[in-house]
């Protein structure tokens, strides 16, 4: 049985034990806890700094200046090739120098009408030499001056385009040239809402010929004179540019002539503004 004296002694021991634990917590564990939290925060900061330093070091280590120089040289070489290709393409499409000069100069109606008539006569004579039938509508369709034209100088380009197309057909000995109409010039815009860098000229033709003659004709339109010569094709006079065939419709001419076809096509050329 626990006596009152022993009970008092046990109370005192329990009291001093709790007091000792409280003192140890207040003066030992609490400061250690704060120090540990401060150290942990600092350690976290150091880890973050170390991680950023490691990433930066890895990036610096991974940069190969020699490879960058090589890539820069490859890009410069590619840009030079693209520039050369662009110039080559422009040279294939640009009209002859004297024609471009006439387009730029103030338009002279009398001079144009004389040149128009001269080319009609020359092409008519060439058609007789090559035994190619040229319908009257062909000559009526030659480009002519109109007061509604905003850029009459482009008539020189249209006249040259008509000559190139007709001369190619005559030299390739088509059976006949049935109709011709020169379209109105229009701005050629590479992208919507972009300023036009060139004007598109066009001529609509209706011709008849055999399959070989029509094939030669289409090739002559697309090739420069030196290219046509290298392929053994007729060479159109002047520095003819490569022309576009925008639309093409071929059909049988008559049942009596199985190798004869009627061809309707739209031929275009570009006049660069710069």
Co-location of 148 and 37 in the same domain: no
Q: Which residues contact 139 (CB under 8 A, 6 or more apart)?
A: 120, 124, 180
pLDDT band at 166 (very low <50, low <70, confident <90, very high): very high
For residue 8, pLDDT over 70 is answered with: no
Instruction: Give the CATH number of the domain where residue 230 resides.
Output: 3.30.70.60
Pairing, β 133-134 against β 176-182: parallel
HSE toward the beta carbon, residue 66, CA cutoff 13 A = 1
Q: In this structure, is the dihedral angle defined by the CA atoms of residues 194, 198, 204 and 207, taken in order, positive or negative?
A: negative
Q: Tens digit of pLDDT for each residue in 106-119?
A: 999 999 999 999 99
> What percentage of the chain carries pLDDT values higher than 70?
68
Burial class (CB in 10 A: 0-12, 13-18, 19+), 149: middle
Residues 13-26 pLDDT 10s: 444 444 444 444 44
Domain tally, the chain: 2
Across the range 226-255, mean pLDDT stands at: 87
- Do 35 and 166 fall within a single domain? no
Range of the domain at 168: 91-272
- Looking at the chain, list the stretches that DSSP marks H as alpha helix, in order from N- to C-terminal side: 4-24, 30-62, 65-93, 97-104, 109-129, 136-140, 154-171, 211-222, 225-230
Check whether residue 104 and residue 44 sit in a common domain.
no
112 and 37 within one domain? no
Structure tokens at 208: 């008849």
Tell me the β-bridge partners of 49: none
Q: Residues 135, 8: one domain?
A: no
Judge whether 73 lies within some domain: no
Q: Does the pLDDT of residue 30 top 60, yes or no? A: no
Residue 224 predicted with pLDDT over 50: yes
Asked if residue 214 lies in contact with residue 245, where contact means CB atoms within 8 angstroms, the answer is: no
């Amino acid at each position: 049985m626990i006596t009152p004296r022993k009970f008092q002694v046990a109370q005192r021991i329990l009291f001093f034990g709790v007091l000792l634990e409280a003192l140890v917590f207040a003066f030992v564990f609490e400061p250690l806890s704060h120090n540990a939290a401060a150290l942990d925060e600092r350690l976290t900061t150091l880890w973050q700094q170390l991680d950023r330093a490691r990433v930066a070091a890895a990036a610096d280590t991974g940069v190969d200046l020699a490879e960058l120089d090589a890539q820069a040289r490859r890009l410069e070489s590619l840009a030079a090739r693209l520039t050369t290709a662009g110039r080559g393409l422009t040279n294939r499409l640009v009209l002859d120098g004297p024609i471009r000069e006439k387009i730029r100069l103030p338009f002279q109606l009398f001079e144009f009408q004389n040149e128009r008539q001269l080319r009609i006569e020359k092409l008519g004579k060439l058609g007789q030499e090559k035994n190619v039938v040229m319908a009257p509508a062909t000559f009526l369709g030659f480009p002519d001056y109109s007061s509604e034209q905003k850029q009459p100088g482009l008539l020189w380009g249209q006249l040259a385009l008509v000559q190139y197309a007709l001369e190619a057909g005559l030299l390739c000995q088509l059976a006949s040239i049935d109709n011709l109409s020169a379209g109105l010039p229009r701005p050629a815009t590479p992208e919507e809402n972009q300023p036009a860098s060139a004007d598109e000229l066009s001529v609509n033709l209706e011709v008849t010929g055999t399959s070989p003659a029509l094939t030669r004709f289409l090739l002559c339109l697309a090739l420069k004179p030196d290219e046509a010569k290298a392929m053994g094709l007729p060479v159109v006079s002047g520095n003819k540019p490569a022309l576009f065939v925008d639309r093409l419709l071929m059909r049988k001419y008559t049942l009596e002539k199985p190798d004869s076809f009627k061809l309707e096509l739209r031929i275009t050329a570009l006049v660069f503004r710069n």
